[in-house]
Amino acid sequence: MYRFLHSIVGEYTVKLSCADPLPFLRRLTLNKVLFWSLRGGDGVWYLKTTLSCGELLLNNAHEAGIPGEIVKFKGLPFLAAKYKKRPGLLLGLILGLALLFCSELFVWKVTVNGNETIPEEVILEALSEQGVKVGSYIPAIPVLKVQNLVLLSFHEISSIAINVKGNHVMVEVLERVHEPPREDVTGYCNVVAARDGIIVSAKGWAGTVIVSPGEVVETGQILISAFTVGMRNVYRVHHARGEVLAKVYESYSAVFPVEREIKAYTGRKTVRRITTLLGRELALKTDSPYRRFDTSVKEEAVTLFGFIDTPVTVTEVTYREYEKQKITLTERDLQAYAKEDMESWLSSLGEVLEWEHTFTFDEIQNAYVLNVSAVVLENIGLKLPLEPGEQPPEQVKPPVPPV
């Protein structure tokens, strides 16, 4: 710590020419001359001393008959003397250090941890509305009040903790764990077909299954009846539940024009830089000089010596100019696009049992047309409440006793 302090307030490095420096070092200790960092050998030795002890050390060396000279000096006093003819530079350094010291009272960075389903941007926006953002005056932040207000505005958050460490605000959130929705089994209902299909399997957990594998069903047809026949042929009514898997048919169509308009980049680009100090933008011009362009944004926090954080962020916006150009695609290129599109559609269907497609050219549209049909395995069961006075279907009625 003392060595670092001396390097700031100023220090000399003194060269001594003697065979054994120990007697001279004892002399310096008796005369209370401060020194440190002795090094060297073979009759040449180096040690360091303060500005106030430099002349005294050389006088002691002269009295002891030891040649000595100052070979190096460093520290702020020498730096000030070096640039005394450039007061603007020195003043800028002082103002910069003062600004850096004052900026410690403001927020430099806000980070959020613990969020999984709530986007970080949403939480940061809510904090900003309550005065917690980059550039906020730290002593004026009502931490407890902000925590309570954020909790009231976010039902998905069960707890939040705002910790201020230096000029860094760290927000820890704990999201609320919701119980999975419970199935409503109140009331009486049938399970009906949500769409047309061919039954593959039917399982019932309550009620009576009245369809069988291979049967073709239509939308709205009863699959699992709410009625069952109990002892003595007495009907009982249930909240029918079950799973009915069926083959259903899906279709898809897409058009791929032979001529397509693409972006042809001209090679020209313009870079705009936006400097942000404590959350405030310092930018002179940020618009694009081109009529058609793509934009890419790169944000980087400015650090000193690669590891010291600062309240400055530089955003680099790159504009790349392009022109619209028409090209003619080959059938092979369009087949590749169609295949990618078809695979994306099939993957969204679930369990696909089989599929087929056609890829034909349409002269009127000057385009290739993709048509795809697929057979999908799907649970088509849909609960539907009983109508007032609804009677059991024929499949549930008990057999008529012989006469």
Residue 375 forms part of a structural domain = yes
- Between CA 257 and CA 362 the distance in angstroms is 9
SS3 state of residue 163? strand
CB 274 within 8 A of CB 243: no
Residue 307 forms part of a structural domain = yes
Q: Are residues 139 and 171 in the same domain?
A: yes
- Between CA 186 and CA 202 the distance in angstroms is 22
Residue 183 forms part of a structural domain = no
pTM, full prediction:
0.59
Q: Are residues 312 and 334 in the same domain?
A: no
- Between CA 294 and CA 403 the distance in angstroms is 87
Q: What is the dihedral of CA 140, 144, 149, 150, to 10 degrees?
A: 100
Q: Which is nearest to 139 in space by CA: 101, 97, 104?
A: 104
Residue 137 forms part of a structural domain = yes
Banded pLDDT at 12 (limits 50, 70, 90): confident
Length of the chain counted residue by residue: 403
The answer, yes or no, to whether residue 3 has pLDDT greater than 80, is no
Q: Which two tokens stand for residue 30?
A: 């008796």
- Between CA 185 and CA 191 the distance in angstroms is 12
SS3 state of residue 2? helix
Q: Which two tokens stand for residue 403?
A: 């006469």
Span 194-216, mean pLDDT? 94
Q: Are residues 57 and 120 in the same domain?
A: no
Span 28-36, mean pLDDT? 88
Give residue-wise pLDDT tens across range 361-394: 999 999 999 999 999 999 999 999 998 888 888 8
Banded pLDDT at 190 (limits 50, 70, 90): very high
**Cα angle, residue 222 at apex, residues 220 and 227 outer, rounded to 5°:** 145
- pLDDT given for residue 264 in this prediction: 92
- pLDDT given for residue 163 in this prediction: 92
Q: Which two tokens stand for residue 394?
A: 């024929």
Domain's final residue, options 175, 203, 223: 175
Q: Which two tokens stand for residue 399?
A: 């057999």
Q: Which is nearest to 136 in space by CA: 99, 110, 118, 159?
A: 110
Q: Are residues 322 and 343 in the same domain?
A: no
- Between CA 225 and CA 390 the distance in angstroms is 11
Domain count, the chain: 4
For the domain that residue 144 is a member of, what is the CATH number? 3.10.20.310
> In sequence order, what are the beta bridge partners of 227?
237
Q: Tell me what percent of the residues of the chain surpass a pLDDT of 90.
A: 46
CB 14 within 8 A of CB 57: yes
Q: Are residues 320 and 333 in the same domain?
A: no
Q: Residues near 217 by Cβ (< 8 Å), separated by ≥ 6?
A: 193, 196, 197, 198, 199, 211, 223, 246, 380
How many of the other CB atoms lie within 10 Å of CB of 74? 15
Residue 349 forms part of a structural domain = yes
Banded pLDDT at 209 (limits 50, 70, 90): very high
Banded pLDDT at 85 (limits 50, 70, 90): low
- Which region, left, alpha or beta, applies to residue 394 given φ > 0 means left and ψ of -120 to 50 means alpha? alpha
Antiparallel, parallel or unpaired: β 222-225 and 189-193: antiparallel
SS3 state of residue 295? strand
Greatest CA separation for the chain: 145
- pLDDT given for residue 84 in this prediction: 64
Q: Are residues 21 and 8 in the same domain?
A: yes
Which position has the higher pLDDT, 178 or 58?
A: 58
Q: Which two tokens stand for residue 36?
A: 């440190």
The answer, yes or no, to whether residue 7 has pLDDT greater than 80, is no
Q: Are residues 25 and 67 in the same domain?
A: yes
> In sequence order, what are the beta bridge partners of 175?
157
**Top-confidence range, 104-113, 237-246, 285-294:** 237-246
CA-to-CA dists, residue 154 to 145, 208, 303, angstroms: 14, 45, 35
Per-residue DSSP letter, 319: E
Give residue-wise pLDDT tens across range 311-325: 788 889 999 999 999
Amino acid (1-letter code) at residue 142? P
Q: Are residues 76 and 6 in the same domain?
A: yes
For the domain that residue 22 is a member of, what is the CATH number? 3.30.70.260
Residue 361 forms part of a structural domain = yes
Q: Are residues 361 and 344 in the same domain?
A: yes
- pLDDT given for residue 399 in this prediction: 62
Query: What's the mean per-residue pLDDT of the chain?
Result: 86
Give residue-wise pLDDT tens across range 127-165: 999 889 888 888 888 999 999 998 888 888 889 999 988
Residue 6 forms part of a structural domain = yes
- pLDDT given for residue 96 in this prediction: 63
Through-space distance between the first and last CA atoms of the chain, rounded to whole angstroms: 113
Sheet holding 216-217, edge to edge: 216-217, 197-206, 241-257, 367-379, 351-362
Q: Are residues 308 and 336 in the same domain?
A: no
**Structural domain containing residue 121:** 109-175
175-180, long-range: CB < 8 A, 24+ apart: 175/114, 175/115, 175/116, 175/117, 175/118
Domain's final residue, options 142, 159, 175: 175
Q: Residues near 387 by Cβ (< 8 Å), separated by ≥ 6?
A: none
Residue 151 forms part of a structural domain = yes
Per-residue DSSP letter, 241: E
Q: Are residues 314 and 369 in the same domain?
A: no
Banded pLDDT at 88 (limits 50, 70, 90): low
